[in-house]
Structure 1
Amino acid sequence: MLHRFLYALFLIAASAASISASAQNTPKSVVTTPQVRAELLAHAPQGVVPGQPVWVGLQITHQPEWHTYWKNSGDSGLPTVLQWTLPAGVTAGDIAWPLPRKIPIGNLANYGYEGTVLLPVPLSISPDFKPSLLASELEVKLHAVWLVCRKECIPEEGDFTLKVPVKSTTALNGAAFDASLAAQPQPLAARSKIEVQGAELQLTVADLPAALRGKTLELFPETPEITAPAVDIRQSWTGPTWTATATLTAMRSQSPAQMPLVLVAEQDGQRQGYRTEADVRGSWPQAVAAPTITPALEAALRANSSAAQIPAAPSLSWAAALLGALLGGLILNLMPCVFPVLAIKLMGFAQHAGDRRAHRVDGLAYSAGAIASFLALGALMLGLRAAGEQLGWGFQLQSPVVVAALAVLFTVVGLNLAGLFEFGQFLPSRLATLQARNPALNAFLSGVLAVAVASPCTAPFMGASLGLAVGLPAAQALPIFAVMGLGMALPYLAASLSPGLARLLPRPGAWMATFRQLMAFPMFATVAWLVWVLGQQSGIDGAGSLLVLLVAVAAVLWALGLAGRTRLVAATLSIAAIVGVISAAGPNIIKNAPPANAVAAGERWQPWEPGRVEQTLATGQPVMVDFTAAWCVTCQYNKKTTLSNTAVLADLDAKNVQLLRADWTRRDPAITAALGQLGRNGVPVYVLYKAGSAPQVLSEVLNVDDLRAAIAKL
């Protein structure tokens, strides 16, 4: 019966939730943002012992068109900074910077990295390093700060932790470190010289390798703010001596006596670098003072800044937040994401038709389950945010593990409702007779299951309350979550306490078996949606692997429902099969696949990025942002209806509105922060921006007429 598999699956779900929560607190070696993927790597081929090479490094993989910076960033930018926390007896050296590239940006040029780059750092192990016998590992902690730029620049940072075995070798990343170290510039024995000649520098480098002679070299001064990176150097060869003329930058801030230089040339299709120390001769010209900002210019800059600034969203009082939470939880019952749980509610009503006491117990237990689940989710989210995680409402469905677990859960629910198996066939008798001793447990777990499906959605009035709750102390925030649970349970609670309702219900009978089988289909529809959500997170391989896993789960349940020797053979084979499926397909399910391009060229909606709204508003163009996620059914409903309405699209075109879509399917701290600035903490959120005006946050359930009226005011 329904209560039996709900109890067993509640234990499974609780285990999965605890595993997921503990995973949030495990040391992280990877930080992913919309612009880069940063990973802390280690290379200790002889183990961690004094006198042997031990390397660590931050590997940054950039999205197309994005870049970070070398030690001399060029005309703009900042180099990546690595701050290490190491045990006693271990010290970190300087970054062994690989060869940079010149990256033209309009009339300027930067020195930096695109694609994938590894910034290796040597570790010195002294005899004072004494790891404990119980944990013979070197714990490396890194706080990294980098500036990633395209046309706009975004400062980012991350905290990384890596444990390197002391006695065993760590050489998995050897190829990456070898390639990065091979990209280091080779030192030149002969010193070089620089002559300061007015606004130019005359460089002379002698005794360069014969393979370089006659080649065109790239120049990268390690000292910043000396030369103008965007101005090409003039160079020539006289035998083995290379000379070049570089232009001083108008913003020169230093007058060094020595300048390290890196020269790069193409050799056999590869870039090869050489490093030399150049003595500076001659007198430096007077450095140009910083430009003076006149009062008129300062006033213009201030006006420009205020025009592009987005006013903060209005605050909400705690009492109003409680009322919004109650109304939002109440309306949540009408959201499309809650429909599958109606099957469980209707089954409960039908089972207790005519039994008023059973109705009351059922309603109270269901309400307790809903309230407890909202409290648990709220407490977990607040705890993880306090630990530094950038999370929002619905964060659990940003994890492929949780999505896959829910898909398994609803598959089992659907198969049980369809009559494939009964839990009483293979559960211990204590569990099989649990409902007879405690009939309220079924209703309580129904409330838990309802919240599990409904929680990713944000109903009207609920968004502002969530936005306030995440910024309050736990003593004030948790009552808001509890009231949301009460609001969601309120219709069912009121119906269970109403004496007149029982007279409207049909009497129990044979029709209930057919009704139970019919209710399996909403569960399978939920599974189809969850598989699609996982496909957005883990790619087509992840979705396909999950389908294989669900088939294997169905086979195990079918086999356990057999009798006699056939059951033993079939169950053994099916369990072995599911173990093989988990081993082979599990990594495909839980991985986060590289994000696909959000939109194709020429489409109306463009991907949201930090700072893009402000840049667009500065040109006078209005903006609409759709904060959405694949796991939010309400988001998908609005997208297919109101946001696809021809009249709405015509109004947007007429007002020349820039359309941006912020996809929160995967965890994205930048989107979480943007929602927080709007006083929201979940999706869907729809916002209209107009220069000089406060952002207009629309209803979570979009209406064509209301949206068109809002667009007309832009």
Structure 2
Amino acid sequence: MERFAALLALLVLAFAGPVAAPLSAQGPGSDRMPVELVAEGAPQSGERWMLALHFRPSTPEWHGYWSNPGDAGLGMQLEWDLPAGWSAGEPLYPLPQRLVIGGLMNHVYEGAYAVLVPVSVPAGVDPEDAQRIGVVANYLACTDAICVPQQARLALDPGDAQADPRFEGWRAAVVPPLDSEAQFEFAGDRLRIGIPLPAAVRLGSPHLFLGTAELGGSDKPLYTATQTFRRDGDLLVAEIPLERIALPPGVQSDVPPRPETVEGILDLGEGRGLRFVAQPGDVPLEGAAPLSGGGEPVLWQLLLAALAGGLVLNIMPCVFPILSLKALSLAKAGGDARAARIDALAYTAGVVLACAALGGAILLLRAAGEQVGWAFQLQEPLVVVGLFVLALAITANFLGLFEIPGFAISGGSPSRGGSFGTGLLAAFVATPCTGPFMALALGAALVIEPLHGLLVFVALGVGLALPFLLVGFVPAIRRLLPRPGAWMERFRRWMALPMGLTALALGWLVWRIGGGQFLVLVLALGGLALFGLALLGLFQRRGRGGALVIFGALIAVLGLGMALLPQPQAQAMSGQASLLDPGEYSETALAQARATGRPVFVWFTADWCVTCKVNESVAIEREATRAAFAEAGVVALRGDWTQPDKEISRMLTRQGAAGVPLYLWYAPGGEAEQLPQVLTPDLLMRKARASEP
């Protein structure tokens, strides 16, 4: 009702405008938006001659309209008087602007602008002998409160036409055409347009100006509704919501046919645009990654989200095993202020370098066509084996089996190298987790400009290291820390417990990835590492030389042992028992589940994702959840990303997720709804009960 009232008021103003406007024998004047007819130069026989209609508002509050004015307004109409054989083409417009008044979307031009019109000059004629050309331009000039019809009668003598220096600027402002043909299809209540757009083209905040206003099928575009955009390589898919035109009761009308082509302008943001023509055809969504909110988030928003995500990552359960290292480093920073600052900076450098390196590797691999995401390195068996051996080594260090310079608590100044190494390790072990705020930031980082994406990963590292920076540079916080003493040695030994549990979890992951025989070989390698470290510790305690030689030899032997490990065969990862009895995720399985007309819950997990396991124990693997799903007839599917899986990777990319966990809920006949990455105990039960018939 509000939209109808606003439209009616605007139309009344449009027709009331001429009453207040000065009239002449020629009809409405053009005093609100004067226009002049300008040529690019003298016409040439057999060539295209470009003319320009240059509009200049009399005062800044007046604006003109694009060919499709939107919900209200009036597009320009031209009536040409040309010599015989001459013809005028379709007007070429600059990039329009959006103006919403009273809930109505208008496609407008504010300030001076020029519309170019190509005129075809027939071959074999002398343009200097041609008659004067004329054009009657009918258009609308509006402010936010009133609209006034305008009419201008313009003439130009081809023989006297001269080049105008302003023409190059006007030509540059015209939206250039796309050199490839787009496709369109109607999908329910949406118009879907697939536009070939090279992946290298930078997107700001895209918007599609629909030039074809008559869509047939009793549908009309909802110009004020949020447009959605998805991208898959060199294809950009735009979806425009449609509204069915309601007829008064008892009135019947033939359904208008669909258009043969759909035209428009794609606004790429930052003043850039492309003009396209779309033909009917299939516009696939498979593999297309969504751009949230009809455009990419602003860079500073992504950086802030990444910073917050890194900060929250300090307390996420997947990071708890390395909190022991952080606690020891905090204790070391309690004495000398200068040493504390150096320690904080060294630790921060390690964290940021690790996050930037991991982010850069992800971006490079994705640029090469690989479907990888956050924590992808944990899908590699040798990386997991290396982390297992490392966790064993840190556990042995905490128990006093041997000492690592910079990690041991000696009461002296902190080691820069040790703090840097702690930062590297903290960031690397934290990668299995995707906590709050990180989903938006890391998901967008994989689809925005690579340099900006790398900055997002750097911001994540700064957030992860921020508590240490505060401790190092804020004396008031350092004064709250307990003084170094004998308690630190006891604390270090207690911290062997979470690191030992981490090693145990990594050993379980080794078994899940490679099976029993592979686990036996890895355990033998771990035993060899512990034997070598015990020997190293013996030399250290007795003060004998050769400890460095033993350490180097141990590293060489372990490296050789890892290189000789057989490549484990891929294990079936869907065999874990679950109360929900889920099916194995695949694109076909999801399509079949949705076709049943029942609610569908899909969760994507991995054995190395601690957050996933916590969510499963808290919200998924519960008898109450199973009962609620059974009552509502929910179909459950599980996608295990412990090992690489192309179909799961495609779905993660399509949903704008950088990694797992990812939880999707499909209401009957509806599209995917992303659930929070940290599930509450009753969330799934509430979703199921809301879906009950």
Distance 1:510 1:661, change over 3 A: same
Indicate the residue corresponding to 2:308 in structure 1.
327
Q: Tell me, what secondary structure is at the counterpart of 1:626?
A: strand
Is 2:473 the partner of 1:497?
yes
Is 2:317 the partner of 1:336?
yes
Q: Tell me, what secondary structure is at the counterpart of 1:662?
A: strand
Distance 1:626 1:598, change over 3 A: same
Measure, in 2, the Cα distance between the counterparts of 1:601 and 1:647.
Answer: 13
Alpha-carbon distance, 1:568 to partner: 9.0
Measure, in 2, the Cα distance between the counterparts of 1:307 and 1:581.
Answer: 45
Measure, in 2, the Cα distance between the counterparts of 1:580 and 1:359.
Answer: 34
Distance 1:473 1:585, change over 3 A: closer
Indicate the residue corresponding to 2:384 in structure 1.
403
Indicate the residue corresponding to 2:80 in structure 1.
none
Distance 1:477 1:645, change over 3 A: same
Indicate the residue corresponding to 2:512 in structure 1.
536
1:414 aligns with one of 395, 398, 407: 395
1:705 aligns with one of 660, 682, 685: 682
Measure, in 2, the Cα distance between the counterparts of 1:653 and 1:490.
Answer: 45
Alpha-carbon distance, 1:586 to partner: 4.4
Distance 1:468 1:367, change over 3 A: same
Measure, in 2, the Cα distance between the counterparts of 1:432 and 1:332.
Answer: 25
* Structure index of larger Rg: 2
Alpha-carbon distance, 1:646 to partner: 2.5
Contact 1:310–1:695 (CA<8 Å) still a contact in 2? no
Is 2:345 the partner of 1:367?
no
- Could you give the per-residue CA deviations for residues 375-421 of structure 1, whole angstroms, max 9, x where no partner exists? 11000111112122221111010000000011111211111121111
Q: Tell me, what secondary structure is at the counterpart of 1:562?
A: helix
Q: Which amino acid aligns with 1:317?
A: P
Contact 2:579–2:626 (CA<8 Å) still a contact in 1? no
Equivalent runs, 1:204-353 vs 2, <5 Å? 314-315=292-293, 316-319=296-299, 320-353=301-334
2:534 aligns with one of 543, 558, 583: 558
Contact 1:336–1:634 (CA<8 Å) still a contact in 2? yes
2:434 aligns with one of 435, 440, 458: 458
Indicate the residue corresponding to 1:231 in structure 2.
none
Contact 1:624–1:660 (CA<8 Å) still a contact in 2? yes
1:507 aligns with one of 465, 468, 483: 483
2:633 aligns with one of 656, 680, 687: 656
Q: Which amino acid aligns with 2:538?
A: L
Is 2:666 the partner of 1:686?
no
Contact 2:332–2:411 (CA<8 Å) still a contact in 1? no
Q: Tell me, what secondary structure is at the counterpart of 2:637?
A: strand
Indicate the residue corresponding to 1:3 in structure 2.
none
Q: Which amino acid aligns with 1:606?
A: G
Equivalent runs, 1:117-156 vs 2, <5 Å? none
Alpha-carbon distance, 1:713 to partner: 3.6
Distance 1:649 1:491, change over 3 A: farther
Distance 1:566 1:598, change over 3 A: same
- Could you give the per-residue CA deviations for residues 200-237 of structure 1, whole angstroms, max 9, x where no partner exists? xxxxxxxxxxxxxxxxxxxxxxxxxxxxxxxxxxxxxx
Indicate the residue corresponding to 1:242 in structure 2.
none
Measure, in 2, the Cα distance between the counterparts of 1:601 and 1:354.
Answer: 51
Alpha-carbon distance, 1:328 to partner: 1.6
2:617 aligns with one of 637, 640, 650: 640
Q: Tell me, what secondary structure is at the counterpart of 1:561?
A: helix
Contact 1:467–1:681 (CA<8 Å) still a contact in 2? yes
Q: Which amino acid aligns with 1:486?
A: V
Measure, in 2, the Cα distance between the counterparts of 1:654 and 1:307.
Answer: 32
- Could you give the per-residue CA deviations for residues 628-667 of structure 1, whole angstroms, max 9, x where no partner exists? 0000011111112211223222222222111111000001
Contact 1:435–1:441 (CA<8 Å) still a contact in 2? no
Contact 1:545–1:585 (CA<8 Å) still a contact in 2? no
- Could you give the per-residue CA deviations for residues 590-620 of structure 1, whole angstroms, max 9, x where no partner exists? 4233425535699612211122212211220
Q: Tell me, what secondary structure is at the counterpart of 1:625?
A: strand
Q: Which amino acid aligns with 1:621?
A: R
Q: Which amino acid aligns with 1:667?
A: P
- Could you give the per-residue CA deviations for residues 7-62 of structure 1, whole angstroms, max 9, x where no partner exists? xxxxxxxxxxxxxxxxxxxxxxxxxxxxxxxxxxxxxxxxxxxxxxxxxxxxxxxx
Distance 1:601 1:642, change over 3 A: closer
Alpha-carbon distance, 1:478 to partner: 0.7
Indicate the residue corresponding to 1:548 in structure 2.
524
Contact 1:370–1:450 (CA<8 Å) still a contact in 2? yes
Q: Could you list the runs of 5+ residues in structure 2 that have no partner in the other structure?
A: 1-256, 258-279
Is 2:459 the partner of 1:483?
yes
Q: Which amino acid aligns with 1:540?
A: G
Is 2:337 the partner of 1:356?
yes
Distance 1:507 1:583, change over 3 A: closer
Q: Tell me, what secondary structure is at the counterpart of 1:505?
A: coil
Asked which structure has the greater RCO (Cα within 8 Å, sep 6+), the reply is 1
Distance 1:388 1:407, change over 3 A: same
- Could you give the per-residue CA deviations for residues 288-344 of structure 1, whole angstroms, max 9, x where no partner exists? xxxxxxx9xxxxxx9xx9999999674441333223212221221121111111111
Indicate the residue corresponding to 1:100 in structure 2.
none
Q: Which amino acid aligns with 1:682?
A: G
Measure, in 1, the Cα distance between the counterparts of 2:287 and 2:580.
Answer: 27
Distance 1:450 1:576, change over 3 A: closer
Distance 1:645 1:630, change over 3 A: same
Measure, in 2, the Cα distance between the counterparts of 1:679 and 1:605.
Answer: 24
Indicate the residue corresponding to 1:388 in structure 2.
369
Contact 1:337–1:633 (CA<8 Å) still a contact in 2? yes
Distance 1:581 1:682, change over 3 A: closer
Measure, in 1, the Cα distance between the counterparts of 2:558 and 2:444.
Answer: 46
Alpha-carbon distance, 1:483 to partner: 1.1
Indicate the residue corresponding to 1:622 in structure 2.
599
Indicate the residue corresponding to 1:174 in structure 2.
none
Indicate the residue corresponding to 1:442 in structure 2.
418
Q: Tell me, what secondary structure is at the counterpart of 2:587?
A: coil
Measure, in 2, the Cα distance between the counterparts of 1:388 and 1:509.
Answer: 54
Q: Which amino acid aligns with 1:412?
A: A
Contact 2:604–2:638 (CA<8 Å) still a contact in 1? yes
Contact 1:599–1:606 (CA<8 Å) still a contact in 2? no
Measure, in 2, the Cα distance between the counterparts of 1:433 and 1:649.
Answer: 49
- Could you give the per-residue CA deviations for residues 572-599 of structure 1, whole angstroms, max 9, x where no partner exists? 9x979995996599434x4233425535
Alpha-carbon distance, 1:567 to partner: 10
Alpha-carbon distance, 1:556 to partner: 1.0
Q: Which amino acid aligns with 2:672?
A: P
Could you tell me the TM-score, scaled by structure 2's length? Answer: 0.53
Measure, in 2, the Cα distance between the counterparts of 1:341 and 1:643.
Answer: 27
Distance 1:488 1:681, change over 3 A: same
Contact 1:560–1:567 (CA<8 Å) still a contact in 2? no
529-538 vs 540-549, greater mean Cα deviation: 540-549
Alpha-carbon distance, 1:432 to partner: 11
Measure, in 2, the Cα distance between the counterparts of 1:449 and 1:340.
Answer: 11
Alpha-carbon distance, 1:361 to partner: 2.6
Contact 1:308–1:692 (CA<8 Å) still a contact in 2? no
Measure, in 2, the Cα distance between the counterparts of 1:580 and 1:329.
Answer: 32
Contact 1:307–1:692 (CA<8 Å) still a contact in 2? no
Is 2:636 the partner of 1:666?
no
Indicate the residue corresponding to 2:141 in structure 1.
none
Indicate the residue corresponding to 1:377 in structure 2.
358
Measure, in 2, the Cα distance between the counterparts of 1:356 and 1:579.
Answer: 41
Distance 1:650 1:309, change over 3 A: farther
Indicate the residue corresponding to 1:521 in structure 2.
497
Alpha-carbon distance, 1:672 to partner: 0.7
Indicate the residue corresponding to 1:695 in structure 2.
672
Q: Tell me, what secondary structure is at the counterpart of 2:565?
A: helix
Aligned residues: 407
Distance 1:694 1:310, change over 3 A: farther
Measure, in 2, the Cα distance between the counterparts of 1:622 and 1:308.
Answer: 21
Q: Which amino acid aligns with 1:318?
A: V
Q: Tell me, what secondary structure is at the counterpart of 1:363?
A: helix
Q: RMSD across aligned C-alpha pairs, in angstroms?
A: 4.0
Distance 1:436 1:404, change over 3 A: same
